[in-house]
């Protein structure tokens, strides 16, 4: 078997079905023993990742991509990759972004742990999002701010530098670790994972419990590289690995 780079979202993708997760862990550890790498790519900050790691059967990954692609950790207690941090500064003015979002009463700031130098995150209802997102996008552009708006699960709105998302972080990590896209598998369930699937020709597994925004993106971008599983969470990943002939 060729060494595989395995990049997966956590909440509602790898995490959510402990029995299937533990079964998948066996496959992942075996893949790692022959040169594969396991990378977790989560919307959570590192602190909230560590909370999850206490509850779920997660082993330490080779790399952690945290905060929706805005921080890459090669060690769970070290500093984020400085080369990556540097790339994110281009065109990003956090204070001005904050000032503009203050005009919208429907935007409710997420907890302090989920705010960082390169990520501003809010809670936003699905009903309010319909009108608010185009207005906010327009206002940011009008002010000359090149910001990415990522809305996930009908609840979470992330404002990120143009260059940062789970997809660009995946490409950076894949190239750093030296894996070609065809030996890379990505897995996800929601809006912030769209960038993982859109990054290039990597193989992708969308779990059966995926959110509407990812399902509709998948319908609009059909490719034999992506598999939509019937099973949920880790069981869906196991199903996808079987579909692609990895197990």
Mapped onto helix, strand or coil, the DSSP state of residue 103 is coil
Angle between helices 126-142 and 94-101 (to 10 degrees): 130
Please, which residue, 121 or 209, has the CB nearer to ligand GLC? 121
Tell the smallest beta-carbon distance from residue 231 to ligand GLC (Å): 22
Angle, CA 65 vertex, CA 175 and CA 124 arms, to 5°: 130
Assess 116 for contact with ligand GLC (CB under 6 A): no
C-alpha to C-alpha distance for 65 and 74, rounded to whole angstroms: 9
Assess 158 for contact with ligand GLC (CB under 6 A): yes
Letters for 68-97 (x = contact with ligand GLC by CB under 6 A, - = none) are x-----------------------------
How many CB atoms are closer than 10 A to CB 80?
A: 21
Tell the smallest beta-carbon distance from residue 12 to ligand GLC (Å): 10
Please, which residue, 156 or 213, has the CB nearer to ligand GLC? 156
Residue 238 CB contacts under 8 Å (≥ 6 apart), including other chains: 20, 23, 24, 27, 231, 247
The residue of the chain with the least Cβ separation from ligand GLC equals: 43
Mapped onto helix, strand or coil, the DSSP state of residue 160 is strand
Please, which residue, 183 or 231, has the CB nearer to Mg ion? 231
Assess 43 for contact with ligand GLC (CB under 6 A): yes
Residue ranges binding Mg ion (CB under 5 A)? 9, 11-13, 189-190
Assess 218 for contact with ligand GLC (CB under 6 A): no
């Amino acid at each position: 078997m060729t060494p595989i780079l395995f990049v997966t979202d956590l909440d509602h993708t790898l995490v959510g079905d402990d029995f299937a997760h533990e079964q998948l862990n066996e496959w992942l550890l075996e893949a790692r023993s022959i040169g594969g790498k396991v990378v977790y790519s989560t919307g959570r900050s590192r602190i909230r990742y560590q909370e999850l790691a206490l509850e779920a059967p997660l082993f330490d990954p080779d790399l952690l991509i945290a905060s929706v692609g805005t921080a890459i950790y090669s060690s769970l207690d070290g500093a984020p990759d400085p080369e990556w941090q540097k790339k994110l500064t281009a065109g990003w003015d956090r204070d001005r972004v904050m000032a503009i979002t203050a005009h919208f009463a429907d935007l409710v700031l997420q907890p302090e742990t989920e705010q960082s130098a390169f990520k501003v995150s809010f809670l936003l209802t699905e009903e309010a999002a319909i009108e608010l997102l185009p207005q906010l996008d327009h206002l940011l552009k009008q002010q000359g701010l090149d910001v990415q708006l990522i809305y996930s699960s009908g609840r979470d709105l992330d404002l990120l530098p143009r260059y940062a998302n789970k997809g660009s972080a995946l490409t950076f990590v894949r190239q750093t670790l030296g894996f070609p896209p065809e030996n890379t598998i990505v897995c996800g369930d929601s809006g912030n994972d769209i960038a993982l699937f859109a990054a290039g020709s990597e193989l992708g597994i969308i779990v059966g419990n995926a959110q509407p925004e990812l399902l509709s993106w998948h319908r609009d971008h059909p490719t034999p590289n992506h598999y939509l599983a019937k099973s949920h969470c880790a069981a869906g990943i196991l199903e996808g690995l079987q579909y692609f002939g990895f197990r």
